[in-house]
Amino acid sequence: MNHPISSPTPVFTPNGNDRDFLADFAALSDFGATPGGGVERQAATAADGEQRAWLHEWLTSRGFEVHYDNVGNQFGLFTINPGAPYVLSGSHLDSQPLGGRYDGAYGVLASAHAAHRAVRHWAGSESRPRYNVAVVNWFNEEGSRFKPSMMGSSVFTGKLPVGTALATADPAGTTVETALREIGTIGDFEGPDVAAYAEIHIEQGRGLEHDNTAIGLVESTWAARKYQVVVRGEQSHTGSTIMADRRDALLGASLLVVAVRELAEQSTDVPLHTSVSEMTILPNSPVVVAREVHLHVDLRSPDEALLDAAAKKLVESIPGIEERASVSIEQVQTHGWGVAPFPTAGVELAAEAADKLGLSHQNVMTVAGHDSVNMKDVAPSVMLFVPSVEGISHNEGEFTHDRDVCAGTDLLTEVLSRLMSGALDHST
């Protein structure tokens, strides 16, 4: 896939830090690499285990201590002041099937480099930081192999019981606990005492690129509602069963898919994103009318009232679908989150740091869920975006220019250094 630059930009000449980062990013991108230029390394697969081992070695060779908690979150701790809390920074290394190289992985590696640079900064200073620094690779942020998404940070923040997470099985019946033990990255570490959290990520949208802006300062989340839907019909012969007698679960599911899309099409004033992103058909035989279909429905909007209204409208459409297809439909909300702000003080801190580095910036909302959405509820948190070319994500063609990933890493370094000095101690 070509990635044209829409307007002339200054030539990017990487410095030593940039070259080190880009070399490490190229090495990381080899794990689970796909022919289309992306990666395939779903949570707790062999490729995920290999990249975790690579990160483990990278951190320990630079003086970090690496530990794993009981749901497979990977922490690298650098202790300057024994007994003091940690400024934690990270993202996730797991990917979607045929996913992109940057989603999550950029944030983990940027955090590792920024933390290491911050340590060097404080080592050369006459003063000592108030807080230590730590890097985290959250387990199963993507939620593709194991549901729900953001699993590791949900357990860490107490939003999901660890027993529930460990017992969760993938479509083949392998549990999270079994999969983590197979790759050897499950432990008994309770996690660091967190003073503040920072995360950087590709935008996964067109906004920053369109506005020719280097950095997005996340000030709030979109709201999201996610549902598991089961459509039940009756298994029968595709040829001999007369049409009037059919209870086709796939027909009911198809009508539901259309209803979900129409919700978005009907919302013309305020954005509403809707998807049916997963479907399992039983028995999935070429000569059998489907008896059961499982679907995953995803609704998102920056307007929580609109999102609630859309969810209500979807429920109201179900009886008509049941009658038309002669099926029954069960819908259960599995998880979600509301429109919620990030700390204003964190946005202001990041803006000041960006100004110091001469990086253009603007306040944005995050449409996608990130581990910071969980972490902001338990610690002062900063969320940063760098541009995504053409807004492509969860796709092998995902791409961000070297100048942008390097600029973002520079900014994250400055943010971590400030957080380590206690800059957000009195934020709310």
Query: Do 228 and 218 share a structural domain?
Result: no
DSSP 368-408: S--HHHHHTTTS-EEEEEE--GGG--SSTT----HHHHHHH
Computed from CA positions of residues 164, 174, 28, 217, in that sequence, does the dihedral angle turn out positive or negative? negative
User: Strand pairing of 273-282 and 292-301?
Assistant: antiparallel
Q: Is residue 5 part of a domain?
A: no
The band of 428, judged by pLDDT with boundaries at 50, 70 and 90, is: low
Segments forming the whole domain that contains residue 21: 16-222+339-420
Q: What's the CA gap between 102 and 3, in Å, rounded?
A: 15
Q: What's the CA gap between 394 and 169, in Å, rounded?
A: 22
Query: Do 233 and 212 share a structural domain?
Result: no
Residue-wise pLDDT for 210-219, tens only, equals 999 999 999 9
Query: Do 316 and 241 share a structural domain?
Result: yes
Query: Hey, what amino acid is at 7?
Result: S
User: Strand pairing of 328-337 and 223-232?
Assistant: antiparallel
Query: Do 159 and 259 share a structural domain?
Result: no
Phi-psi category of residue 291: left, alpha or beta, with phi > 0 → left and psi -120 to 50 → alpha: alpha
Q: Is residue 75 part of a domain?
A: yes
The band of 143, judged by pLDDT with boundaries at 50, 70 and 90, is: very high
3-state secondary structure of 93: coil
Q: Which of 337, 362, 392 is the last residue of a domain?
A: 337
User: Strand pairing of 292-301 and 86-91?
Assistant: unpaired
The band of 6, judged by pLDDT with boundaries at 50, 70 and 90, is: very low
Q: Is residue 100 part of a domain?
A: yes
Query: Do 372 and 236 share a structural domain?
Result: no
* CATH number of the domain residue 310 falls in: 3.30.70.360
Query: Do 73 and 46 share a structural domain?
Result: yes
Non-local CB neighbours of 392 within 8 Å, separated by 6+ positions: 1, 100, 398, 399
Non-local CB neighbours of 261 within 8 Å, separated by 6+ positions: 274
Give the H/E segment covering residue 299. strand 292-301
DSSP 11: P
Query: Do 217 and 120 share a structural domain?
Result: yes
Query: Do 274 and 160 share a structural domain?
Result: no
Q: Is residue 125 part of a domain?
A: yes
Q: What is the mean pLDDT of residues 4-12?
A: 61
User: Residue for token digits 């003086």?
Assistant: 63
Q: What is the mean pLDDT of residues 250-270?
A: 96
Q: What is the pLDDT of residue 127?
A: 87
* CATH number of the domain residue 57 falls in: 3.40.630.10
User: Rounded to 5 degrees, what are φ and ψ at 387?
Assistant: -65, 150
Query: Do 242 and 371 share a structural domain?
Result: no
Q: Is residue 119 part of a domain?
A: yes
In the predicted structure, residue 5 carries a pLDDT above the cut 70: no
Taking a C-beta distance cutoff of 8 angstroms, is the pair 197, 88 a contact? yes
Cis peptide leading into residue 148 (ω within 30°): yes
Q: Which of 290, 319, 337 is the last residue of a domain?
A: 337
Q: b vs e for 293-311, b when ≥16 Cβ sit within 10 Å of the residue's Cβ? A: bbbbbbbbbbbbebbeebb
Q: Is residue 11 part of a domain?
A: no
Residue-wise pLDDT for 370-420, tens only, equals 999 999 999 999 999 999 999 999 999 999 999 999 999 999 999 999 999
In the predicted structure, residue 10 carries a pLDDT above the cut 80: no
Q: Which of 304, 337, 370 is the last residue of a domain?
A: 337
Query: Do 239 and 125 share a structural domain?
Result: no
In the predicted structure, residue 139 carries a pLDDT above the cut 50: yes
Residue-wise pLDDT for 288-297, tens only, equals 999 999 999 9
Q: Is residue 359 part of a domain?
A: yes
Count of domains for the chain: 2
Query: Do 240 and 216 share a structural domain?
Result: no
Q: What is the mean pLDDT of residues 135-149?
A: 95
Query: Do 169 and 49 share a structural domain?
Result: yes
Q: Is residue 7 part of a domain?
A: no
The band of 368, judged by pLDDT with boundaries at 50, 70 and 90, is: confident
Cα Rg, the chain, nearest whole Å: 23
User: Residue for token digits 């429920």?
Assistant: 315
